[in-house]
Amino acid sequence: MKLCSCVAVNEYQVDQENEVSDFKVFDLSELRKVTNGFSPSCIVSEGGEKSANVVYRGKLEDNRLVAIKRFSRLSWPNAQQFLAEATSVGKLRSNRLVNLIGCCAEGDERLLVAEYMPNDTLSKHLFHWDNEPLPWEMRVRVADFIAQALDQCNITDRKIYHDLNAYRILFDEECDPRLSTFGLMKNSRDGKSYSTNLAYTPPEFLRTGSIVPESVIYSYGTILLDLLSGKHIPPSHALDLIKGESILVLMDSSLEGQYDNEVATKLVDLASKCLKSETKDRPDTKFLVSGAAKLQKQKEEVASHVLMGLPKYRVILPTLLSPLGKACSEEDLDAVHEILVKSGYRDEEGAENELSFQEWTQQVQEILNTKKLGDIAFRDKDFKKAIECYSKQLVHMMPRTSATVCARRSFSFLMTEEPNLALRDAMQAQVTVPEWPTAFYLQALALSKLGMETDANDMLNEGAAFDAKRQ
């Protein structure tokens, strides 16, 4: 990654050739599938499951990880207006933005699909860090990159950004900060709504109920205060702190003096300019880009993940279901059967099913022959025959229980409308191989058939967790 002292206008131009191919209108069924039916386990937004606008994580068929924002039903009553707005935002392409790659408007559903940022938000790294505070040089880089992102939006005539805050800035695989494009979408029917926290709201919004391009500059000033202080301080309070005082009263104490005093002073000055009460007194985005770029002290190409002390390409993969997990969550019984047949007995990790030479007796040969008949019946979907073979002879005659046989009999019971027995066998498979995802997925399928959706979802999540552990 090369750091530039300035950003040329032509770097911000939209790639006209790729506009159509980079943006897609998804079917609702596609997005439902990649989020496991909009499962609560896939929610990544701070608001949680009950939030009006929930963000889910998902994985497309081409293996791209995505963030999917699901709006409340009243946010966009007009589907065509939503599609037009999303398509317009989707034309922006920049490595300073979390690029929008698609949308969906079916019935009452309104969804946006964007690139997935695996390394958390600026809010997390500034306010809720676990081990080390966000390093000073990285804070300066955030100021620089977000100034570039806002200038990108300004050049492409997306001058209004709704509610710019530390949650809207995310870190990609290389820990480079990016500005979420979700903030470029209107977030209410009239597009006038802004932050619900009046202490951080631009003064003009309080006066008129509307925002203007200069309102974004004010919000950028609040981001600079966040970076300097490591806290979310109301602008009026922050400005009072530094009037006639040393900037020390504002600086993040967790940095323990590990910052450039000259650069910090200039950032405070830039923030003060952005936070002017009158919109006409605030600088434009070009001024932000020029001012922030000059503060970069790195003389060499130092990657963001190095500044943050994180390994390269540190991707926190979301817990997603395997093909079997997805098939069970969607109750696609044909797909479940096909996967169980193809996986055979090789996936039964932890079970010792190989028989020693001493155990090779006539009785064992009979067991193996019965097993073969049961497997053939299972493959051919003769589930009653499979149950007969697995139950009367195989399970009771084997010197040790086979988790795969339990799993196959569990599915066979499902196909013969006996979900209670199916659940019993899936639980026995788990007892035999405690961390086998297949056992959890089949329990979920049986629980769903029994109408126990909450328990079914818990089993899906446990199966997914063990899948992730294996990977």
Place of tokens 């990159």: 145
**Cβ neighbours of residue 326 closer than 8 Å, sequence gap 6 or more:** 33, 36, 332
Tell me 124's DSSP state. H
Distance separating alpha carbons of residues 69 and 75, to the nearest angstrom: 12
CA–CA separation, 296 and 333 (whole Å): 58
Q: Tell me, what DSSP letter sits at residue 100?
A: E
Q: Which two tokens stand for residue 214?
A: 């200069």
H helix or E strand, kind and range, residue 10: none
Identify the active-site residue in 151, 163, 252, 425.
163
240 annotated active-site: no
Backbone torsions φ then ψ of 111, nearest 5 degrees: -135, 145
CA distance 350 to 348: 6
Q: How far is residue 451's CA from residue 453's CA, in Å, rounded to a whole number?
A: 6
Q: Are 177 and 304 in contact (CB under 8 A)?
A: yes
User: Between vectors from CA 23 to CA 18 and to CA 28, what angle results, nearest 5°?
Assistant: 160
H helix or E strand, kind and range, residue 221: helix 213-229
Residues 184, 168 contacting (CB under 8 angstroms): no
Q: Residue 74, Cβ neighbours under 10 Å: how many?
A: 11
Q: What residues pair up with 66 in beta bridges, in sequence order?
A: 58, 115
Enzyme catalytic residues: 163
